[in-house]
Amino acid sequence: GAVVSQHPSRVICKSGTSVKIECRSLDFQATTMFWYRQFPKQSLMLMATSNEGSKATYEQGVEKDKFLINHASLTLSTLTVTSAHPEDSSFYICSAREASGGTQETQYFGPGTRLLVL
Amino acid sequence: AQSVTQLDSHVSVSEGTPVLLRCNYSSSYSPSLFWYVQHPNKGLQLLLKYTSAATLVKGINGFEAEFKKSETSFHLTKPSAHMSDAAEYFCVVSEAGTASKLTFGTGTRLQVTL
């Protein structure tokens, strides 16, 4: 149980184009999903917290107009990198928290999406 | 504010010998603490978590960690390393009331040699 998937696993795009990454909780409902970014050989940095049916909460320094997040259902959140540039190249990882109440529930992580912008 | 310090960026052990990955935390409130493992180009897998129950937490694959409030530590141990344990390990803290916002340590790369 508690499986989170991401699609695509790897994407290469040209500079200036937009890329959409999907995060799905496969066997549970997630009221909250999180989006992280990981640079090579570095730790994960939280980008934003996504709550189903409401606007995402972005961390300081993360451009909300560049990284569009939609959490339309209890099993799906999407991250769209708009007008991507080479500096956006990174490993993007999502996580999902079960909709069972409480604030200390475990987060389950997706396998990540590697984005390369040429 | 919460923070996590992983004291070693790289640890190398021989197969069959014990593993110790060190983690110290800082938290204003009662924290929850986690250890996650990440294999190359993969997502994160939860090894174990502490949420104010028993201070000695047993996880998957033979790993365990002990929460020591007096030392603000949550070190990860395993009695005998296996080659498949080679990976990146992250110590993570979450404070009560932060809606599960996780703060990650910088990671420790575990190398297991023959």
HEC secondary structure over chain A: CCCEEEECCEEEECCCCCEEEEEEECCCCEEEEEEEEECCCCCEEEEEEEECCCCCEECCCCCCCCEEEEEEECCEEEEEECCCCHHHCEEEEEEEEECCCCCCCCEEECCCEEEEEC
pLDDT at A22 over 80: yes
Which sign, positive or negative, has the C-alpha torsion A66, A34, B41, A23?
A: negative
Decide if B43 and A32 are in contact by the 8 Å CB cutoff: no
Q: A91: closest CA among A105, A104, A110, A75?
A: A110
Tens-digit pLDDT profile for residues A60-70? 999 999 999 99
CB-CB neighbors (< 8 A) of B106 in chain A: 42-43
Specify the higher pLDDT residue, A98 or A14: A14
Q: How many domains does chain B have?
A: 1
CB A68 within 8 A of CB A82: yes
Please report the pLDDT score of residue B100 as a whole number.
65
As a whole number, the mean pLDDT across chain A is 89
CATH code of the domain in which B54 resides: 2.60.40.10
Domain that holds residue B21: 3-113
pLDDT band at A17 (very low <50, low <70, confident <90, very high): very high
CA distance A56 to A33: 9
pLDDT band at A14; cut points 50, 70, 90: very high
Which residues of chain B does A110 touch, with a Cβ-Cβ cutoff of 8 Å? 43
CB-closest option in A34, A105, A111 to B43 = A111
Q: A86-95, A108-117, B50-59: which range is least confident on average?
A: B50-59
pLDDT in tens, A35-51: 999 988 788 899 999 98
Q: What pLDDT is attached to residue A99?
A: 65
Share of chain B above pLDDT 70, in %: 96
Mean pLDDT score, A87-99? 90
- How high is the pLDDT of residue A42? 82
User: Hey, is B14 helix, strand or coil?
Assistant: strand
Return the structure tokens found at A55. 């606007």
What's the mean pLDDT in A79-107?
Answer: 84
Provide the shortest C-alpha distance from residue B52 to chain A (in Å). Answer: 11
DSSP state for residue B42 in the 8-state scheme: -
pLDDT digits (tens, 9 = 90+) for B72-114: 999 999 999 999 999 999 999 987 655 567 889 999 999 999 9
pLDDT reported for residue A39: 85
* Chain B residue with the nearest C-alpha to that of A47: B101
Ranges A30-34, B43-47, B91-95, B104-108, most confident = B104-108
Would the pLDDT of A103 be above 90?
A: no
Euclidean distance between CA atoms A93 and A90, whole angstroms:
10
Task: List, in sequence order, every residue forming a beta bridge with A25; answer none if it has no partner.
Answer: A4
